[in-house]
Amino acid sequence: MKLFFRTLVTICLGCLFGSQHLYAQKQASKYIDSLLQELPKAVDDTNKVLLLDDLSFGYYTNNTDEGLKYGNEELELAQKLGWKKGIALAYNSIGDNYMSKTRVLIALDYFFKAIKINEELGEKLALAKNYNHVGVIYKNQKYYPQALDYYLKALKLNEAGGNKRGVALNLGNIGNIHTLQGDYDKAREYHFQSLKMYEALADSDCVAHLLGNIALSYKYQHNYTMALEYYLKGNAVNEGVSNAERGIILGQMADCYLLLAKEIPGISVKKKALLAKSVFYSKAAMETNKYVGSLIGMMNYAKQMYEAEELAGKDKDALESYMQYMRFNDSVYSQQNNEQIAMIDYDRMRRADSVKTADEKKVSDLKIKHQLHYSYAGIAVIVLLLGFTFFIVKERRKSEKLLLNILPAEVAEELKTKGVTKARHFDNVTVLFTDFVNFTEIGERTSPQELIDELHTCFMAFDEITAKYGIEKIKTIGDAYLAVAGLPVADPKHAENVVKAAIEINTFINDRKTQNGNNTFEICIGIHSGSVVAGIVGVKKFAYDIWGDTVNTAARMQQNSIPGKINISQATYELVKDKFDCTYRGAITVKNKGEMNMYFAESAIEQPI
């Protein structure tokens, strides 16, 4: 049971669809009950740590507060025993529960703590699991390059450790990233590899899931025929089984038949046949979703069925499906009002056919007006409150978006929840400093507006490049640009990512120079790695800033660079020398620091495949 449940939840982590998680919740109760019976008999040893880990993991699908409770008990006991492997397990479980609560920054912090311990212990398979979870968070936050990087690292470790199930999971997750990025051929390449492994493991749930993902990639390409081919295969794998995966596949099949029917103009025998299949599979999907308790699934497939029946001209059936859809609809309206208004809408649409005499028509109209009067009066206050709530939510989102433009997400969250933030020390970061060397000269040749427009264009490009590599922009100081990688969330590739970003910034400026000639800037770039303190200064017009010798040294690297070059320190060089071609410049005298070794970072070294 334990292996089954953990496998199911792991599938949920890598899945593109949400409803499978509901099935995991149903299975969790039996799993948890058996563990709770064992807990009172357990002594304070490593076995109890493992038991608490299983409880924390079991709860995280449906009660994260309980999951966090047992995860923290697990951490406390593992620390008391001095068992590092258990501490890493606890960090991972606590991270799981925070991830389930969508507190992703806190979850990442715990996962990186687990990663640090597992790296020290050489626990490669545990490390692969940590990497996969970090990849899931980055994927859900739409940081697809970072997610892909961690999935690939997990894949490498699982391959080395012979963990076939882990390899299959990682391959599927990598395929999902390529699907989300629109590279459907690449996505299918990985999904087919994953499918082959799950077939060898005789894991029907995962096989069906992978067939569904392959079908989805075809569906996104509007190749509904091929999508149906793989959905049908997935359905055949789980034939006769009622689970969330089958519910998804049945619903997707219904949608594909509906989309194929919509491509055919008018009403024909072929179109009616496609619509009939859509209705059939929508009904099957609703039954399966009813079994697994997915109200959202039932609502979606009722709406899908209504659309197909309406297109087929089956008004009576369409009305019934529409009524079902309205009952399931998660809205502020009560079920009674939904049904009443839905019936009124259909009565108005069809009354010309059903009312046979002028007197009957008048009576019908009067009834409708009477019904509408009470129905809409009953929901008028709700609609007003809904509008007011919508306004508040909209304005709150605006303020949160503005806050995230000023502060890193983790710091903004701390400020919102606690009202204050504390400065933090970060040991492993890399600071990027850029400066335009001919800013004054261009200002003399152009108007102030043209100068600012050019500066804005360049800094917007820098913002996009740094965001791409997970680098935190700190501020601009006149025509200088300051950014840092490795905070507020740790990044083991902080130096590599900053050098990559610097190369792209340099390329952008060179291209801009080719395009605009002497009306754009030349740039000097400096990079240094070390430790900094970061936090918010002031109480008015506050700003997130960084301090320390690392920042000063990065500025010195920039000042001792030359236009079109990326000048890096010895500390940064040691971190990236295997990744980039670097040219040693020698020991150069730096103000207030004496002689310092410097290098020009030129280009990335081509890595063997």
Q: For 15-19, 49-53, 222-226, 360-364, which range has the lowest pLDDT when averaged over its residues?
A: 15-19
Q: Please, is 439 exposed, middle or buried when counting C-beta atoms within 10 Å of its C-beta (0-12, 13-18, 19+)?
A: middle
Q: Are residues 494 and 471 in the same domain?
A: yes
Q: CA–CA separation, 255 vs 210, rounded Å?
A: 18
Domain count, the chain: 3
**Looking at per-residue confidence, does 514 or 130 come out higher?**
130
C-alpha dist (Å) from residue 573 to 430, 472, 549: 11, 21, 17
Assess whether pLDDT exceeds 70 at residue 492. yes
Is 23 inside a domain boundary?
Answer: no
Q: Write down the mean pLDDT value for the chain.
A: 79
- Condensed to tens digits (0 to 9), the pLDDT of residues 102-158 reads 787 888 889 999 999 999 999 999 999 999 999 998 888 888 888 999 999 999 999
Element (H, E) at 205: helix 204-220
Q: Are residues 389 and 312 in the same domain?
A: no
Q: Are residues 300 and 384 in the same domain?
A: no
Q: Are residues 440 and 479 in the same domain?
A: yes
Q: Are residues 310 and 449 in the same domain?
A: no
CB 151 within 8 A of CB 173: yes
Is 563 inside a domain boundary?
Answer: yes
Q: Are residues 262 and 365 in the same domain?
A: no
Nearest by Cα to 561 from 529, 531, 514, 528 = 528
Domain that holds residue 485: 415-604
CATH number at residue 447: 3.30.70.1230
Residues 6 or more apart whose Cβ sits within 8 Å of residue 521: 436, 437, 438, 439, 442, 454, 455, 458, 479, 509, 512
Q: Are residues 383 and 457 in the same domain?
A: no
Is 389 inside a domain boundary?
Answer: yes
Residues 6 or more apart whose Cβ sits within 8 Å of residue 82: none
Q: Are residues 362 and 276 in the same domain?
A: no
Is 282 inside a domain boundary?
Answer: yes
Q: Are residues 451 and 514 in the same domain?
A: yes
Residue 417: band (very low, low, confident or very high) from pLDDT cuts 50, 70, 90: low
**Looking at per-residue confidence, does 491 or 35 come out higher?**
491
Q: CA–CA separation, 441 vs 558, rounded Å?
A: 19
Residue 293: band (very low, low, confident or very high) from pLDDT cuts 50, 70, 90: low
For residue 608, whether the previous peptide bond is cis, meaning omega lies within 30 degrees of 0, is no
